[in-house]
Structure 1
């Protein structure tokens, strides 16, 4: 552990994000991203803080290499976490009209799977009669909510499966 207190905060934030609801997941993503940014900045400062670049002597070379390797691995892991969390957040908050239509149709929103993007917004058709059921901004918000709920459902199912597997392995 390079920064135990900060790493503990990251673990708690990740755990909170794993158990988020559709109401709080956006805020928890933002909090987690802020902690990841802080941790990454600390990792980049670490070599200077430790004075690694001024270490000399053959007996220290292995120590320098192992510290650099650990810092590099931590930066890479942090970058992967940040990229994944940013992509997740973006999938909830930035929804184009086409993506909204895809989500609404995929979720059969309001019982319909024939949503289309039109000049006036997102419309649905039933029995060849045009029904304007949504406008683009609202459909984006609705799609974001549906995506959040779908993510929460998948995460909960994954957590249950992991718990079942751990229990099955432990009791075997």
Structure 2
């Protein structure tokens, strides 16, 4: 396995870091949770962050925590979709397609919330005012976030990004061919 220091990966995939933090900030705005400080990208650990006030409810906390997964995943698919369609049709990529592919992979690689997001969410769902439905939903999600963080040492984040960016268009092409 190739080891590349985290700051180098963050620098090479900085658009994904920016989108990840913007997703947190957008979720804060949508839930009326005050944002206290934002750093969209920096060459330090963490490579970006959003510091916000305590959300007024556990569902809001959940939404803020998982927003990057939803936003980064959907945006990565949308950005890389033309490239994925070309790859599914065995079309040789040009410069624009390579840039879109890099951008899609960059955004997709930062879809998973951080372990800090998972820890914060975990504390929120353990609170006495958290209902059973949210606990039932959020508990396995916290586990998946932690698992994703552990698996990132074997490039799980890059594998996930490639799968959504190129697998989604490929599956669509196969589906369309089977159902004309």
- TM-score tier, shorter chain, comes to 0.3 to 0.5
Higher helix content, 1 or 2: 1
Larger radius of gyration: 1
Relative to the length of structure 2, the TM-score reads: 0.35
